[in-house]
């Protein structure tokens, strides 16, 4: 596929795509809607960038993003219509905005109550996980600094994490201080990465993030977790460049894996719930009520030989 044709696919948004769900999920039980084997993946690494449409990212100005789009999976109709940033991050990790409408730091926001979120699901399943925040410094920082934005750190907004500082310090850590060693260890099967306010495109141009990603992805692919395992890297964006209420944006969403079903694009309409549903399927977590009907991204991957009992 030519670069021009690929760009046309990525920036196309289906005419019938509606806004992402914003209602808060109140259920505590999970469901399992899988009727076919889940993806044959055992490690997930997620990197989330900021505030750009696909048309600004998969371009000659960002050659590494474009290279990845040509080599690996692309979700050409992954959209967001929720603003500002924080509700999108909460949706990625709980399937709902949970009623959050601001970008306030955790100390100035009402905590999300209950256990209907990804971190709790991973803990209950015994999946080792960590969230890596570039330029955060000390772990579990609830207040933003010049380069670290707490509202790009969704795990800090869940009440059960806030109430357990020791667990928070273990799970939400600085990227530069921990990621390389943790990646080499292979201990953590779910790894979330939030670049700092420059490297995530929030305060710096696309070219800066492109250069940052060109260092991080080869590092991941050289690790045993990727090279010798069954790994998936999701590259996501929280929202598009417009902050207008309800403005929908096609986001550059890449799926990098040694378990891809094929090097291809998928035009199914996806949103942030789709990402969460896919992670739930990969680890056999069961679906939260908020993701029970979400279109998963499972088709990107080779299926496991059988559904685990």
pLDDT of residue 305: 82
Q: Is residue 221 a part of any domain in this protein?
A: yes
Q: What is the pLDDT of residues 193-224, one digit of tens each?
A: 999 999 999 999 999 999 999 999 999 999 99
**What CATH number is attached to the domain comprising 95?**
3.40.720.10
pLDDT of residue 66: 97
Q: Pick from 8, 5, 13, 7: which is nearest to 249 by CA?
A: 13
The DSSP element (H or E) to which 211 belongs, if any, is: helix 206-221
Q: Is residue 135 a part of any domain in this protein?
A: yes
Average pLDDT, the chain: 89
The two structure tokens encoding residue 197? 């306010």
Residue 15: pLDDT band (50, 70, 90) is very low
Q: Is residue 27 a part of any domain in this protein?
A: no
Query: Over 60: is that where the pLDDT of 87 sits?
Result: yes
Q: What is the pLDDT of residues 108-143, one digit of tens each?
A: 999 999 999 999 999 999 999 999 999 999 999 999
For the entire predicted model, the pTM comes to: 0.89
Buried residues in 96-132 as b, exposed as e (16+ CB within 10 A): bbbebeebebbeebeebebbbbbbbbbbeeebebbbb
Residue showing tokens 């080599």:
71
Q: Is residue 214 a part of any domain in this protein?
A: yes
- In a 3-state reduction of DSSP, which class is residue 274? helix
CA distance 84 to 254: 22
Q: Is residue 19 a part of any domain in this protein?
A: no
Strand partners of residue 112: 158
Concatenating the DSSP letter of every residue in 66-78 gives HHHHHHSEEETTB
Q: Please compute the mean of the pLDDT values over residues 28-53 and round it to a whole number.
A: 83
The structural domain count of the chain equals 1
- Mean pLDDT lowest for which of 7-16, 184-193, 222-231? 7-16
Q: Is residue 305 a part of any domain in this protein?
A: no
Q: In this structure, are residues 137 and 174 in contact, taking their beta carbons and an 8 Å threshold?
A: yes
CA distance 43 to 24: 28
Q: What is the pLDDT of residues 134-174, one digit of tens each?
A: 999 999 999 999 999 999 999 999 999 999 999 999 999 99
pLDDT of residue 29: 46
Q: Is residue 59 a part of any domain in this protein?
A: yes
Q: What is the pLDDT of residues 229-278, one digit of tens each?
A: 999 999 999 999 987 888 899 999 999 999 999 868 999 999 999 999 99
- Kindly give the interhelix angle for 63-71 and 3-11, rounded to the nearest 10 degrees: 90
Q: Print the domain residue range for 108.
A: 3-12+38-71+82-262+273-296
């Amino acid at each position: 596929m030519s670069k021009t044709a690929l760009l046309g696919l990525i920036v196309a948004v289906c005419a019938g795509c509606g806004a992402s769900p914003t209602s808060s999920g109140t259920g505590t039980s999970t469901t399992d809607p899988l009727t076919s084997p889940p993806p044959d993946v055992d490690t997930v690494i997620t990197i989330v960038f900021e505030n750009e449409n696909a048309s600004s990212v998969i371009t000659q100005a960002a050659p590494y993003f474009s290279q990845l789009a040509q080599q690996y999976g692309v979700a050409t109709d992954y959209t967001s219509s929720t603003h500002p940033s924080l509700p999108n991050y909460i949706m990625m990790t709980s399937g709902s905005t949970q009623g959050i409408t601001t970008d306030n730091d955790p100390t100035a926001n009402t905590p999300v109550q209950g256990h209907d979120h990804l971190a709790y699901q991973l803990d209950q399943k015994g999946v080792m996980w960590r969230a890596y925040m570039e330029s955060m410094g000390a772990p579990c920082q609830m207040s933003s600094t010049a380069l670290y934005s707490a509202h790009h750190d969704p795990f800090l907004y869940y009440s059960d994490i806030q109430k357990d500082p020791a667990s928070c310090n273990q799970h939400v850590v600085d990227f530069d201080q921990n990621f390389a060693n943790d990646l080499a260890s292979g201990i953590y099967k779910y790894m979330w990465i939030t670049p700092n306010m420059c490297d995530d495109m929030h305060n710096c141009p696309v070219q800066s993030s492109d250069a940052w990603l060109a260092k991080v992805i080869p590092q991941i692919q050289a690790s045993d977790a990727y090279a010798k395992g069954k790994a998936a890297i999701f590259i996501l964006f929280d929202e598009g460049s417009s902050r207008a209420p309800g403005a929908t944006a096609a986001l550059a969403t890449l799926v990098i894996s040694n378990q891809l079903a094929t090097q291809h694009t998928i035009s199914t309409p996806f949103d942030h719930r789709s990402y969460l549903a896919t992670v739930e399927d990969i680890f056999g977590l069961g679906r939260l009520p908020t993701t029970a009907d979400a279109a998963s991204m499972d088709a990107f991957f080779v299926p496991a030989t059988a559904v685990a009992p």
